[in-house]
Amino acid sequence: MLDRLRDQPEPLSLAALVRATGQHENTLREHLDGLLRVGLVRRERAPSSGRGRPAWLYEAVGDRSASEYAGLAAALALAVSESSADPAEVGRRAGVAWGRQLAQGRGAAAAPPEDARARVVELLDDLGFAPEQEAGRPADVHLTRCPLLEAAHRHPEVVCAVHLGLVEGALAEHGASAEGSRLEPFARPGSCLLTVPPVPGDASH
């Protein structure tokens, strides 16, 4: 649990931790209470957003360095959700532009589809998604970490669309088709499933 909190640049709610780990909230609450008692974790109330008491947000002690960035990302996701008729498409387009920019900065060049996918997986690893590919199924990439887990939990239609667009934009910079790309948030406890378009030579296709 402490490692999970340390992986995140923002405080997490209990609900987000339940979704990310697949564990019962009572089990997680016990672990969090223990970490609070020994001073390894702190908590604070989330901003009020309606009726009822705001949820507690938990973070590892000493991990505030990126919280302002994470808070900005969550605020932008909320703004897009409330102001756009199609927040997912707005998020995807932003992600495409971001993915192109990142790939260009890494010297992207036209490459065979298999190599383009490998470069994109490397990019995701550098961004903190900790991607894992299944043996014999290279098109299936499990993202075992989310750099913006709490924002993704609150606004998946925007944040997850940005992440999918990032993949599409990076693939495009490598001259590869992104047709068929999809991202299934929280497909398994602790991971999202990214499907990068199948290409000739995949053992699974």
| Pair of tokens at residue 48 | 């009020």
How many Cα atoms occupy the beta-carbon half-sphere of 94 within 13 Å? 17
Hey, which bits of the chain come out as E strands? 12-13, 41-45, 56-60, 131-134, 137-143, 182-188, 191-195
Strand partners, 42: 59
Full-prediction pTM beyond 0.75?
no
SS3 content of the chain, % helix, strand, coil (to 5): 50, 15, 35
Q: Which pLDDT belongs to residue 112?
A: 87
**Stretches in the chain below the pLDDT threshold 50:** 63, 65, 199-205
Q: Which pLDDT belongs to residue 69?
A: 57
Q: Which pLDDT belongs to residue 11?
A: 84
Strand partners, 131: 143
Instruction: Report helix, strand or coil for 50.
Output: coil
Residue entry with tokens 């790309």: 181
From CA 50, how far away is CA 34, in angstroms rounded? 30
Identify whether the C-beta of residue 20 lies closer than 8 Å to the C-beta of residue 190: yes
Strand partners, 33: none
Instruction: Report helix, strand or coil for 143.
Output: strand
Q: Which pLDDT belongs to residue 182?
A: 93
**Span 93-108, pLDDT tens digits:** 999 999 999 999 888 8
**Candidates 3.30.70.270, 3.40.50.2000, 3.40.50.740, 1.10.10.10; CATH matching 2-60:** 1.10.10.10
Q: Which pLDDT belongs to residue 205?
A: 38
